[in-house]
Structure 1
């Protein structure tokens, strides 16, 4: 008589390892996804691709949808689109039932010189609109959400100096969001930034801009927070996870907020749209567990993204910040996340 390994383990009272739990468990808690980033090179790695298929429900392109990759510089030429890399990711996602978060339409970095050298408002407006319209139309209905504008703030809450802000002022935000909405009305549209991990001038500036833009009719659906937390989180996170998530991604929650937080700002956070949390650099399992529990505590947190699968592929590989080690084996941090989701 043949017995399966699972049956034998059950008889012995040993629970077999269950694969592919991250996305299924967070969805069971009412969230939309547990995601990761990738691109064609990583998707061609069979170990990496297998883990994405089993454990993650959303893919974000690490580089293939950024301006220099998808509409690169060729002298002063524009409209020279290269969709190959992003096509690969979108096709993989669709074939495997994954959501896609597009990253990113408008960013000061990884920007071709033919864009950064534009000096008049009419030309830049047309270039932004054409860039977003062309990409948005190509992937219409295939993208769950777009980071429409990315990292547009200085630390003091003012607009970062870029070709977009210098030529168009704050108007580039509305131009970009309106073009994105017209190109793909079903996609959620985000403003995304980092260093939003505490109540500070940058967060204040973001809150004020989002309120101002929404009041003026700009179709902003959500705020994305890139959490770079290389050391153990030192907020009151373990006892007040909702407050922790508030400081990490501006989501806001009912009650249990840290006394140190400015109450008027808390009220503004509660009025912000849906939130997305990207964990780019956490060192220990307890930090992951804290972030996950915090997201679960806040209804406006729709999902979590970790920035790549294996430590070997992390942009901060030396700090080994991810859920899988360099051999694609689950780390204790993975188990901490599973426990937090259970």
Structure 2
């Protein structure tokens, strides 16, 4: 599929050509990105590059509705360096060009994570051929190379992703085991050196409200900022499910990070439900999207609200959560759900 993406980059993606969408995709003529103007919040989506290349409705909707985009997968380490020393920047470059052609900002995702690492790296650590000293050098080189490549073209980077467990303890990973907890501050220093103007974020799930996990991030951020480490943002993923209730103290959670002088952002929002779909579930879903959006719009320093895909046609949820789905703003036919309307109304009222 990467070949087809590259082919489109030379024509459709760069020129911005997009086919007209069905009327069902546009019951409201005002795009979300227009409604977001004046709120101080960019409205964004994760982008599936294969869908962007192959699906004209997906491509046109991405351009029309959003002024910020995040690579769903193509900036992750396993994608950009599948073989040691051999890089495949094509799909990530395609997204950056597409965003520029459509007046969109780009969020970088993600530099340090325990998942989606290239096989050569995990195998080398496992068999001892990559020792701790070499691993640190490899990590530094990866961060530096990727951030420098997109210097000046990415406004926010998720530098360190999902480093805490639910109880607030540091997550076991090759980074913690081999490098110790200092890898977190090192990653921020290296990213900042590579692009001093990009805002650098911590990022995780189940940290919407005040709880043990979000408090661990708060204490980490406070400690690192006191040590002059360039930790500048806290990213809240926002993967919710209506059967578990809406998280408490979301506004209070944002406020305490902002009091540290940090930006905040909702970075991967979707709201899944147990299937089948019905009107009551869709109505509840809409209130969850609106609840997170309102917290962002009303916060002093929440700068972006990104949904993790906008159509159920390309959602990751059914493949991970059995019997659940319908987690995005549009159904598989790109028809807007009540959640889409709720987000639009929230943006309009937040101006």
TM exceeds 0.5? yes
Specify which structure has the higher proportion of helix.
2
Structure 1: unaligned runs, 5 residues or longer: 1-15, 238-242, 253-265
Match of 1:274 among 232, 257, 263: 263
Match of 2:111 among 97, 105, 112: 105
SS at match of 2:238: strand
Contact 2:206 2:238 in 1 (8 A): yes
Match of 2:254 among 244, 251, 255: 251
The residue that corresponds to 2:209 in the other structure is: 198
Further displaced range: 285-294 or 92-101: 285-294
SS at match of 1:305: strand
Spell out the pairing of 1:121-132 with structure 2 (5 A cutoff): 121-132=132-143
TM-score (ref. length: structure 1) = 0.82
The residue that corresponds to 1:53 in the other structure is: 63
CA-based RMSD: 2.0
1:245 Cα deviation from its structure 2 partner: 3.3
1:18 Cα deviation from its structure 2 partner: 4.0
Counterpart CA distance in 1 for 2:240 and 2:48 is 24
Contact 2:265 2:296 in 1 (8 A): no
SS at match of 1:251: helix
1:56 Cα deviation from its structure 2 partner: 0.4
1:134-165 deviation line (CA, Å, top 9, x unaligned): 11111111111110110011112121111111
Counterpart CA distance in 1 for 2:142 and 2:30 is 36
Counterpart CA distance in 1 for 2:288 and 2:294 is 10
TM-score (ref. length: structure 2) = 0.80
Spell out the pairing of 1:112-151 with structure 2 (5 A cutoff): 112-116=118-122, 117-118=124-125, 120-151=131-162
Contact 2:258 2:301 in 1 (8 A): no
1:300 Cα deviation from its structure 2 partner: 1.9
Contact 1:20 1:51 in 2 (8 A): no
Please tell me whether Structure 1 or Structure 2 has the larger radius of gyration of its CA atoms: 1
1:291 Cα deviation from its structure 2 partner: 1.7
Relative contact order higher in (CA < 8 Å, ≥ 6 apart): 2
Counterpart CA distance in 1 for 2:332 and 2:138 is 41
Contact 1:71 1:81 in 2 (8 A): yes
**1:321 to 2:327 alignment:** yes
Structure 2: unaligned runs, 5 residues or longer: 1-25, 273-284, 319-323
Counterpart CA distance in 2 for 1:133 and 1:236 is 36
1:233 Cα deviation from its structure 2 partner: 7.2
The count of corresponding residues between Structure 1 and Structure 2 is 300
